[in-house]
Amino acid sequence: MGGSGGDAHRRGGCRLRRRLSPRSALGDTGAGSWPACSPHRAGLHGYADPRPARVAPRPGGRRSAPVGAGPAGGGDRRGGQYHPLYAVLRHHRQGGAGLSGVSRTKTLYTCRECGASFPKWAGQCADCGAWNTLEEGVAVAQKKALAPRFAGYAGDAAAAIRSLAEVEPGHTRRSATGLPELDRVLGGGLVQGSVVLIGGDPGIGKSTLLIQALASLSEQMPALYVSGEESAEQIGMRARRLDLPAEKLRLLTETCVEHTLALAVKERPAVMVMDSIQTFYSEQLQSAPGSVAQVRESAAQLVRFAKQTGTSLFLVGHVTKEGALAGPRVLEHMVDTVLYFEGEAGSQIRLVRAIKNRFGAVNELGVFAMTDKGLREVSNPSAIFLSRHQQEVAGSAILVTREGTRPLLVEVQALVDQSPLGNPRRVALGLEQNRLAMLLAVLHRHGGIGMFDQDVFLNVVGGVRVTETAADLPVLLSVLSSFRDRPLPQGLAAFGEVGLAGEIRPVPSGEDRVREAAKHGFSRILLPEANRPRKAVKGIEVVPVRRLSEALDILGQ
């Protein structure tokens, strides 16, 4: 096992590497997965087996060729009696990696909701409790991290404990995006160093909205648009079609996060758009772009960059078939603001709603109209959602709702008809269907009006989704109007929560709702007793009620 053996070892290659096939008795380990042994590196590994070859008996008393005999032991190197398992054992005895160095493919199951990983599949994720969300994947060795993966978002400086009184409150700098409705949803403008995640259905107008905002911001500060989905030519065509000022807007088409951040450090933009987060990947991971691990790691690097450099960042996110943001749930926890872009099919109205906002009100609503020149803000959305009928119609009621800090007037329409089915239908668009069923039960119990054999259809005009309980009273008024085929008095608006005991409960911002109704020419408003304004509002009559029966009596007059 001297130098000659080492020379032969280098010329012919390690016998363990040469003799073992990828699909050996040890399993499918793959080519190139055998680590180099110390004798291999030192050039001292010979071909001869120092141990005498064992002879295995064959059935019938015949003796076979030596098992495990290599080329020096009489075995045929190209096939026959050379056993790969014995070669691994001998390789281990001679100082090589042996069995412990065999690289095995490790399977992990990752939850697509929270990103948690488990060695075995289970029907329910043990971390977030979601069912049927574990997806099979291969765990491979990661490359050396270019930056600490577990570093804080605020910076890499050493952590220091301070008193809260020692912390100087910084001035929150906001920049106007050029779209007043978007500024309203963001809480008054784009905050420096904030990370905004915006999601919506394909083709709803997310890229159009952001390129319009970025083109306006580029006149005030350096701006960079990074696209992982569209080519530079496509983005240029859209900018020319929308007549956007594109001289100062910088553009990059890239999908690698590390390359993007390296270029961003040189460019030093004040605001960036990443379109979309599902197309970007990190070189630190081997999984495909769009996977749970890639989305989580890419977002973490981008958020860290934004916080350390003070760059305002927009992230575009895909949505699932159910309408929720795709990717792990931790993505929504990382960012400062989460916006949803909504719109009815075939309608020009687009709604931007704030689901999470660290710098403004939650559930704030921005209204846009899609035109051939892009998105245009709607300054008076109540005028769009209200349909002025030429004559009074049954089943229509006006609701004064509140989206964020803005009071809004929307029309609630109901249709009640005889059901041909044994189980009448309850269909609600823009309102929770279970709440409609509950309100119909309250109407029967405390109003004496049953609809057991009636189909009830409810729709909120304009595609607005109403989630607050202030819609309870207008919903029952519209249902009762359609059931009796009697229109409500003209110029009447209403709001109020209906309890299970038949009481009319107050809702927030009652006085602002009354002023909004008076502003649009309504002469009468039905509201809870506790929401009666302290001072009379000019031009509108306030009708307070305590019970559902009182509201029905007033309408019957």
128 with 228, same domain? no
pLDDT at 101: 47
336 with 428, same domain? no
95 with 119, same domain? no
Q: Which two three-digit tokens encode residue 19?
A: 């003799």
- CATH number for the domain that contains residue 348: 3.40.50.300
Tell whether 148 is covered by a domain. no
Beta strands 492-494; 396-403: pairing state: parallel
Tell whether 80 is covered by a domain. yes
Tell whether 267 is covered by a domain. yes
pLDDT at 303: 95
Counting DSSP H helices and E strands in the chain, the numbers are 15, 25
pLDDT at 70: 45
- Expressed as residue numbers, the domain containing 478 is 383-556
Tell whether 160 is covered by a domain. no
Given 3-state DSSP classes, what are the helix, strand and coil percentages for the chain, each rounded to the nearest 5?
30, 25, 45
Task: State the total domains in the chain.
Answer: 4
Q: Which of 121, 139, 157 is the last residue of a domain?
A: 139
pLDDT at 411: 93
Q: Which of 47, 77, 101 is the last residue of a domain?
A: 101
91 with 114, same domain? no
- CATH number for the domain that contains residue 475: 3.30.230.10
Q: Is 156 left (phi over 0), alpha (psi -120 to 50) or beta?
A: alpha
pTM reported for the whole predicted model = 0.69
Q: Which two three-digit tokens encode residue 250?
A: 């910088």
pLDDT at 213: 95
Tell whether 169 is covered by a domain. no
Tell whether 133 is covered by a domain. yes
- Say which residues have a Cβ less than 8 Å from residue 135's Cβ, sequence separation at least 6: 109, 110, 111, 112, 292
373 with 390, same domain? no
Tell whether 152 is covered by a domain. no
pLDDT at 246: 83
Is residue 498 within 8 Å of 529, Cβ to Cβ? no
pLDDT at 16: 46
SS (H, E, C) 377-392: ECCCHHHHHCCCCCCC
Q: DSSP secondary structure string, 104-159?
A: --EEEEEETTT--EESS--SB-TTT--BS-EEEEEE-PPPPPSS-TT--TT-SSPP
pLDDT at 546: 95
Q: Is 370 left (phi over 0), alpha (psi -120 to 50) or beta?
A: beta
Is residue 409 within 8 Å of 399, Cβ to Cβ? yes
326 with 422, same domain? no
User: Mean pLDDT, consecutive 10-residue segments, the chain of 557 residues?
Assistant: 48 48 44 44 42 48 46 46 54 50 67 82 88 79 51 57 80 88 94 94 92 95 95 93 91 96 95 94 87 90 94 90 67 92 84 92 90 90 76 90 89 95 93 95 94 94 89 96 93 96 95 93 94 92 95 80
